Amino acid sequence: MITPTAFRDGVAALIAELREVLPGSDYEPGNKSPAGLEMARLGIDEPIRTVIAQASLLNESGTDHVLAAIRAFTEPIQMFAMFTCIRTAMEVAALSCWALEPSIEHVERASRSVALRRKGLDEQSKVLREANELDGSRLDERYAQIEERIRELRLTRPRVPSATELVSRTFGNPMAYRLASAVVHGHSWGLVQVGLEPIGRDAETKTTLLGPVVKPTVMLYFLAMALESGQARVGAWGVRGARSCSNREVSE
């Protein structure tokens, strides 16, 4: 029987191995590699290099959050923090899979990369606006650069799917992601499901009293999701033996 400690240590060992095989942002694809061939078809290297850089950042974020989840699983166990970390790991792994999906062509990959850039710029502008630091001229310039790249390479304008859509297509079942989201957003039913249990009843108010509890089955299940998120990222890079990303289309 696999104990929680053994499972935790196994996930940590897997993450260490992933960091050895996953390329970083300085990765130089070979001429006959899928990335190298896509560069040749586009006639320009920068869009594919940008995808590699975007996926590398996502991978680093996912790895960091999985390791944080493992630490939360160490005594004294942080019952709720782990679910926040694993939710993030699943989301960024799924987004990496979307960007690096093996079945799409070079134009679609470059289009997805630009879509990620534009979505990121949208979110950045919101932060700057709230901080009263928004420079409209610079923002317009960056949007114009994105539009110019779309015209230059004759790219499409794909919609970046929602996190739930991406997780569903990558992992096959969004239930774990939705439950982790409930914990993140503080829904009482989610908190009770993963880390609380009845400990008594208040006779005066007739309310049920809840207390913290470690639920090994639930925690092992979510640590398995952490393991799966690591496999999904490896599959996106095309490393032999790992689970590859789903080829199913996300409905618009």
DSSP category for residue 43: T
Tell me the C-alpha distance between 85 and 66, whole Å.
Answer: 6
Which of 251, 252, 239, 241 is CA-nearest to residue 97? 239
Mean pLDDT of the chain: 80
The pLDDT tens digits for 34-45 are 777 888 888 888
Q: How many CB atoms lie within 10 A of CB 228?
A: 19
- Cα 40 from chain centroid? 29
What value does the mean pLDDT take over residues 122-140?
82
Query: Could you give the C-alpha distances from 243 to 44, 96, 171, in angstroms and in order?
Result: 30, 14, 10
Tell me the C-alpha distance between 122 and 114, whole Å.
Answer: 12
pLDDT score, position 1: 55
The pLDDT tens digits for 172-184 are 878 889 999 999 9
Tell me the C-alpha distance between 189 and 182, whole Å.
Answer: 8
Tell me the C-alpha distance between 50 and 55, whole Å.
Answer: 9
pLDDT score, position 46: 83
Residues forming a β-bridge with 207: 202
Which of 237, 177, 245 is CA-nearest to residue 34? 237
Identify each DSSP E strand in the chain by its residue range.
196-202, 207-212
- Please tell me the pTM assigned to this model: 0.80
Using 50, 70 and 90 to split pLDDT, how confident is the model at 21?
A: low
Q: How many CB atoms lie within 10 A of CB 185?
A: 9
DSSP category for residue 196: E
